[in-house]
Structures are given as C-alpha cells and as structure tokens.
Chains A and B, each alone.
Chain A
Amino acid sequence: MQVNKELLKGSTVTLVLSLLDRQPMYGYEMIKEMEKLSDGIFAFKEGTLYPILHALESEGLVEAFWMGEEGARRRKYYRITGAGKRRLREKRAEWNLFSSSVNRIIGEGIL
C-alpha cells in the first residue's frame, strides 16, 4: 500500500532529524535507511530531500561536512546540532500527541 504524499509532508523534518540523531549520514544513505525502516512505504522523490536538508542547515538544526578520500567519492554528510536535537524533542512530543489522538478517534482494537 502506498501512503498519500500529503500525509508525509508534515513529518519529513521529524523523520530526517530522527535519522541524523542516530549518526551522521549523507543523502543517499538517508533514503536507503528510510526505505528500510519503513518497509518501503516512504519512497518519495529523492531530489526533494536536499531542499529539506539545506533548509535545516540554514536554520542551524543540522550541519554539513564533506568527506571522502582522494579517488573515492566525496560525499556531503549531515549531522544534527544541539538546536536540532532540541527541535527533534519538540517534534516527537508533538507527534506522539497527534498520533495518539488520531488513533483514539479512528483506531479500532488499539489498546
């Protein structure tokens, strides 16, 4: 089953920050990880990840650095900052409230 894109929109920032909270990653790695963790549900247009990352960078929530040995591919890695971690905490709390409320209304058999 596919998930409506509109549903995904509000949570991309939370998803991206959650991934980077575990370890620094580059874009391709993040897409793969997201696919794996969501069992392929989050397969969106990959190019649109970069505007999100760049916006987070200019807000100071993540920072970027280039890495790669000579000869090998140079990659732009992203890592979460202190401000990013704070934002993630807020976003998580918001999400928990939202999802539990939605579940209470539409949920069947949810304990």
Chain B
Amino acid sequence: MNLEKQAEVTAYLDAVCAHVRYREVHEQIQLELLSHIESLVEEQVAEGESEQAAIQKALRQMGDAVVVGKQLHKTHQPRTEWGLFGLVALIVSIGMLTIYSIQAQGLLGHFAALFQKSLLWLFIGTALATCLYYYDYRKLKKHAGRIYGIVILVLVLSHFTGVQVNGKTFVSLGMVQIDFIGISPYLLTVALAGLFCKWTWDTVGVAKAFGLLMLPLVIYYMNFDKGAFLLYLVAFFLLMTLSGAKRYQWLGMASAFGGFFALFLLSEPYRMKRMFTFLNPYADPKGAGWLHVQIHETIASAGWWGQGFTFPAHWLPEVHTDMIFPYMVYTFGWVFGAIFLVTVLMLLYRMAATARVIKEPFGRNLIHGFTGIIGFGLLWNMLNGSGLAPGYYVALPFISYGGSQLLINLVATGLVLGVFRRKDLIPSDGRPSLSPEKT
C-alpha cells in the first residue's frame, strides 16, 4: 500500500511536522509515521473496510497531530552544552586577565597593545565560532581529503616562502601574519576525523595512515615546530585508536615511533642531556638547566596567594606564550594554579563526556580529536611550566598570546558545541537506507 499521495495522510504528516521546528528531522519522522499509518490501513482493509474509511480510522488511532508534533519537537531541539561553554568562557577570561596584567606591568615593552590585539582576535574568533556553531558540520566530512591536501600544500609553500619571526615560520597575508603551522594540527584533525570515519584498517590502510601521519610531521620537523609536531602526533594516535584500528596496529606504529625517537636522542649526546635536564637542572644551572632553574624558582616563590604584580622583567623569556603558566602561578598563587588545573580537567572531562553522547561518527571524531589536541596543549604546557617535563614547549590553549592560536581554539570550541547542538537533530544512522543495516 502506498499512501504517500493521499491528501488526508499528507495533511496529517504535515500537521505533525509543522510543530517540529527543525526541518532536518522532518523526512525521518514522516517516513516513520507513514509506515505506521500504512500498516494500520492495511490491517483495516484486510478486515473488509474501504480504504477511505480505513485511513480515517487509522488517523484517529494515531491521535492529535498537534500533540504528537509538540512532543516530537521537545525531543528534536538543538542542545547547547552550557557547561562546556561556561568553562571555555572562564578559561578565556583568565587568559585575557593574564595578558592584561603582563601588558600593564610592561613585561614586554617592545610588544605594544598585547591586550588590545588579543581582544580583537577574541572578537573575531567568537564571531567565527558562532558561525560554526550554527553550521552543519557534517558538510565538512566530504571535504576531508581536500582539507588535508590544501593544508599540506600551504605548509609546503610556507616552508619555502614564509616569513621567519623568532625562528617560527609565518604565512604573511599583507597586514596580518598567520601562524599557519601552529593552527595546521587543528585543520588536519578535521581532515583525519573525516577520513577515519570509514577507514579500513588492513595492511594497506595502515600504510596509508602512516603516510598521512608522516607528511605533516616531516614538514613540522623541518620548520623546528615541536608544538605542532606533538599536537599532530597526539591527535593522530587518538583518532587512529578510536576509529577501529587494532591494538597491535597502533601500538606497533607508536613503538616504531618511540624507537625512532630514542635513536634520535641517543645519536647526539646533547639531545639526551637536553631531554633529561629537567630532572636535575641544578647540575648545570648557568647552561642547559638555566630555564628550568628559573621555572623552579618562579613556582617555588609564588606562595599560596601569589606575589601580585611584581614579576621581575626578563626573569623568564616568553612569559606571554610558552612560559605563561609560571607567570600566572607566580602572580596569582598556588591556589589559583590548582583551581586552574581543576578547571582544565573539568573542561576535558566535559569534552570527553560530550563525545560519548554523539552517535554520528564524524562529529564524535571531531570532538575526540579536539579534546586530544586542546587537552594535550593545556596539560603539557602546565607540566613544562611547572618544571615537570622536558622543555618541548607548546602554547597554552586559550591563554597564551597569539591571534592565530586563540582563533583556532575558539573555532574548535565552536565546532564542538555545534556538533553537540545537532545531536538530537540528526538521526543516528543518517539517511534511511534501503538495505538492511548491520548491527
């Protein structure tokens, strides 16, 4: 029986959907209700009713379209993860306060208007994040391969034509210089999230994935960007592990990596020394251990409630980026540092919990990838900033000064909130399929 063209049935279905504001679920609801109505009508007709009478009876049995529609609307509403939003807002505010105090103290005299620039980027980033919040992120999935290609292309181009500032390569766009290498791990995470949705993890698949891993890493290595290197490594292994790779596959790849890294360290004695200086910086306090000693003393002298705005100029380099955490602890105290750590852990817990309720694989991958990248950045920077890790520095997401960095972290947050927003708007397995689904 096919009642799709029956005026009464169509009117009923339309009346139901009129109360469901989000159009994306209309098709699914109509198909499901239609199949129910058709079954009811079939049953009546088999018992000898005329089709018209059967339809009327079936619709009565379905119940008031307004009631059904309103109840369905309640379920299919966009959701906002206010907890996640609030935590990010809190962390960003802490960042802005810190940048303001660094500027007000004149710790980076040559670097004027640090705070104003951050504010501008915060504004731009929030606007972009808002757009992405409303954007149907699923559209990005089919561009995953293209995104990967373009990112690699720009990375290669910037390697040869980029502007060097303090040993970092920037892409120059007239007025603004973009830390493209710095934001590229995030973009590649989007690409991997899409590519790994339906990845076949056989030998060929693993080999291809290995290529996807190595290509950016080589570029990062050639540009001496340890931050991007580490972030991409973390995002890659996280997504690989969570998207169906067998344990021996990712463990194998990771241990090959570990072995290579060990060789790399052992091949040059100074690398070993640098790597493990943080364990005993006082062995060489004027040389390799200098920065670690400074960090130790900064943290040690902070006290429970901080030293206020008395941070000595030139005491630590890069207090506005890599070394912003020891500055924060020194200025605002150990208690503040602990509160900050708890806030960060809450944020990461929240993000992981958000991923768990997303059934759509691309969206879930996106959240997992960003959780890994942002989480690693936050924790690794704090470890380094407390002298508890070797000095491979990354920026502190949302806090460290840097327009591109702030922008990309806000954009990632916007995407995560956008995925969560649509969690009840998207049917679990996308379009209804014609063939039986596997369980």
Q: A45-B64, A66-B437, A73-B35 known; A51 and B74 CB under 8 Å?
A: yes
B29 at interface, CB cutoff 8 A: yes
Interface residues of A (CB under 8 A from B): 26-28, 44-48, 50-51, 54-55, 57-58, 60, 63-70, 73-76, 79
A66 touches B429 (CB 8 A): yes
CB-CB nearest in chain B for A54: B75
Q: A50-B68, A64-B428 known; A27 and B32 CB under 8 Å?
A: yes
28 A–B contacts, CB within 8 A, in A order? A27-B36, A28-B35, A28-B39, A44-B63, A45-B61, A45-B62, A45-B63, A45-B64, A46-B36, A46-B62, A47-B33, A47-B36, A48-B67, A50-B32, A50-B36, A50-B72, A51-B71, A51-B75, A54-B75, A55-B75, A58-B423, A60-B357, A65-B439, A68-B434, A68-B436, A70-B435, A73-B38, A73-B39
- Give A43 Cβ to nearest chain B Cβ, in Å: 8
Neighbouring A residues of B433 by C-beta, 8 Å: 66, 74
- Give A49 Cβ to nearest chain B Cβ, in Å: 9
B68 touches A51 (CB 8 A): yes
Neighbouring B residues of A54 by C-beta, 8 Å: 72, 75-76
A65 touches B429 (CB 8 A): yes
User: Interface SS of chain B: helix, strand, loop or mixed?
Assistant: helix
Neighbouring B residues of A45 by C-beta, 8 Å: 61-64, 67-68
Neighbouring A residues of B63 by C-beta, 8 Å: 44-48
B437 touches A76 (CB 8 A): no
CB-CB nearest in chain B for A57: B428
Complexed CA–CA distance, A6 and B236 (Å): 53
CB-CB nearest in chain B for A59: B357
B72 touches A51 (CB 8 A): yes
- Give B59 Cβ to nearest chain A Cβ, in Å: 9
Q: Which of B209-265 touch A at CB < 8 Å?
A: none
B434 touches A65 (CB 8 A): no
Q: A26-B35, A57-B428, A79-B439 are in contact. List 13 more A-B contacts (CB 8 A).
A: A28-B40, A46-B61, A46-B63, A47-B36, A47-B63, A48-B63, A51-B72, A51-B75, A66-B432, A68-B436, A74-B31, A76-B28, A76-B432
- Give A22 Cβ to nearest chain B Cβ, in Å: 16
Band of interface residues on B? 35 or more
User: Interface SS of chain A: helix, strand, loop or mixed?
Assistant: mixed
B427 at interface, CB cutoff 8 A: yes
Complexed CA–CA distance, A69 and B71 (Å): 30
B68 touches A47 (CB 8 A): yes
Neighbouring A residues of B434 by C-beta, 8 Å: 68-70, 74
Q: A48-B63, A74-B434 known; A65 and B428 CB under 8 Å?
A: yes
Neighbouring A residues of B359 by C-beta, 8 Å: 60, 63
Neighbouring B residues of A50 by C-beta, 8 Å: 29, 32-33, 36, 68, 72
Complexed CA–CA distance, A76 and B432 (Å): 8
Q: A74-B432, A76-B32, A76-B35 known; A47 and B427 CB under 8 Å?
A: no
B16 at interface, CB cutoff 8 A: yes
Neighbouring B residues of A55 by C-beta, 8 Å: 74-75
Neighbouring A residues of B429 by C-beta, 8 Å: 64-66
Neighbouring A residues of B38 by C-beta, 8 Å: 73
Complexed CA–CA distance, A63 and B134 (Å): 26
Complexed CA–CA distance, A66 and B436 (Å): 7
Neighbouring A residues of B74 by C-beta, 8 Å: 51, 55
Complexed CA–CA distance, A87 and B60 (Å): 32
B81 at interface, CB cutoff 8 A: no
Neighbouring A residues of B40 by C-beta, 8 Å: 28, 46
Neighbouring A residues of B427 by C-beta, 8 Å: 64
Neighbouring A residues of B295 by C-beta, 8 Å: none
B360 at interface, CB cutoff 8 A: no
Q: Which of B56-102 touch A at CB < 8 Å?
A: 61-65, 67-68, 71-72, 74-76
CB-CB nearest in chain A for B359: A63
B14 at interface, CB cutoff 8 A: no
Q: Which of B380-439 touch A at CB < 8 Å?
A: 423-424, 427-429, 432-437, 439
Neighbouring A residues of B29 by C-beta, 8 Å: 50
Complexed CA–CA distance, A76 and B433 (Å): 10
Complexed CA–CA distance, A69 and B109 (Å): 72
